[in-house]
Amino acid sequence: MNRKISSSSFYMEDKDEELVRLKLAIRSASSPVTVAAPALPPPPPPQQQQPLLLSSSLLSLLTHPVPPSLLLRQFFPPTSLPLEPPPSPPHPSSHLASTNSSPHPSSRRESTNPPYPSSRRASTNPPHPSSHRTSTSGQNVEGPLPSRTRKSPMRILRPGKSENIPQPYPWATTRRAKVRSVSDLLSKGILKITGDVQCKRCEKRYQIEYNLQEKFTEVNTFITVNMDNMHDRAPQIWQSPILPNCRFCEQNNCVKPLLGKKRRINWLFLFLGQMLGCCKLAELKYFCKHTKSHRTGAKDRVLYLTYLGLLKQLDS
């Protein structure tokens, strides 16, 4: 009986040595993984029944092999969390997406400022200079400035020029672009109006005479009848007037009026013969300038105003 116990104890000692070697091998194999883990406390001293448990477990290991990872978890349970692998570097595309999704610095700065209402923005604008004026005491007075009067269309004459000129014709006045009225001329016995003309074909110069009463009635009637259809523009018959026939070469529509200098233009003669369209635009503007009429625009408009201006002077 004593021999059997000694053989069994010898067998147990051999198994314990093998188990110690296995523990040392497992510790050496698992040392790189548990480097950062804290040191484990020393195992408690084996109890009297520990060899039996270890031997049974060792027998189960020999008969049914188990992977080393399970052995580690069974004999040495982890006391701390395992180390995580280092994070992989982010992909460049994800970095670009994150930068694009982030708000722009300028928009971030704008978003931090509180929105102002439209009335506050309008109030920050400086007031128009016309809304303030300075009083005689030197203080600023609020309110709109008084409306300015419209300037006269008549320009200031150059030095040496005057509105008064020598009377060029008996039916004209000493004022520039000014004629007498029909009633005034008839009262003074002026019944005929003459003017100088020249043939464009034979270049002969002579005078043409118009009856004042008849021609004035003809032009006045034409303006009264066609006023609504003119639309503040001279009709084509005024822009391209029908000229008289030459009494020498008997050529039709070839006699043109002689104008000369602007201050010596025979305005009444051109009006009665409806030949104001022979004047240049500058000469028509000269008339409107000295009669205080609007003189900007195309020739048909200025020509229309010239006819109306002369009609007003003759009918006054």
Q: How large is the average pLDDT for residues 172-181?
A: 94
pLDDT tens profile 117-131? 444 444 455 555 444
What is residue 222's predicted lDDT score, i.e. its pLDDT?
Answer: 95
Q: How large is the average pLDDT for residues 129-135?
A: 50
What is residue 98's predicted lDDT score, i.e. its pLDDT?
Answer: 47
Alpha-carbon span 147 to 154, nearest angstrom: 21
What is residue 281's predicted lDDT score, i.e. its pLDDT?
Answer: 94
Alpha-carbon span 30 to 85, nearest angstrom: 17
Whether 219 contacts 271, CB under 8 Å: yes
pLDDT tens profile 34-43? 444 455 666 6
Where does 73-171 show beta strands of DSSP type E?
Answer: 132-134, 140-142
- At residue 50, does pLDDT exceed 60? no
Give just the sign of the alpha carbon dihedral 272, 276, 278, 283. positive
- Please give the helix or strand (H or E) that residue 81 lies within, else none: none
313 versus 158: which is more confidently predicted?
A: 313
Cα–Cα distances (Å) from 206 to 130, 199, 209, 247, 249, in that order, read: 62, 9, 10, 9, 13
pLDDT tens profile 94-123? 444 444 444 444 444 444 454 444 444 444
Alpha-carbon span 136 to 45, nearest angstrom: 114
- At residue 237, does pLDDT exceed 90? yes
Whether 214 contacts 161, CB under 8 Å: no
pLDDT tens profile 238-252? 999 999 999 999 999
What is residue 249's predicted lDDT score, i.e. its pLDDT?
Answer: 93
pLDDT tens profile 138-166? 555 555 566 666 555 445 566 767 788 89
pLDDT tens profile 64-75? 655 666 655 665
Q: What is the DSSP string of 122-141?
A: HHHSPPPGGGEEE-TTS-EE
- Please give the helix or strand (H or E) that residue 50 lies within, else none: helix 50-63
- For residue 189, which of 206, 170, 162 has the smallest C-alpha distance? 170
Question: 286 falls in which pLDDT band (50, 70, 90)?
Answer: very high
Whether 302 contacts 288, CB under 8 Å: yes
Listed in sequence order, the residues at least 6 apart from 149 whose beta carbon sits closer than 8 Å to its beta carbon are none
- At residue 23, does pLDDT exceed 70? yes
What is residue 36's predicted lDDT score, i.e. its pLDDT?
Answer: 47
Alpha-carbon span 46 to 40, nearest angstrom: 17
The CB density around residue 228, as the number of other CB atoms within 10 Å, is 7
Alpha-carbon span 66 to 68, nearest angstrom: 7
Listed range (17-26, 81-90, 215-224, 258-267) with the worst mean pLDDT = 81-90
- Residue percentage of the chain with pLDDT more than 90: 45
- Please give the helix or strand (H or E) that residue 154 lies within, else none: none
Q: Where are the domains of the chain?
A: 182-314
What is residue 62's predicted lDDT score, i.e. its pLDDT?
Answer: 60
**What one-character DSSP code corresponds to residue 89?**
P
Average pLDDT score over the chain = 74
291 versus 129: which is more confidently predicted?
A: 291
CA-angle at 83, arms to 82 and 88, nearest 5°: 135
- Please give the helix or strand (H or E) that residue 195 lies within, else none: strand 192-199
Residue with the two structure tokens 């004026």:
133
Q: How large is the average pLDDT for residues 211-220?
A: 95
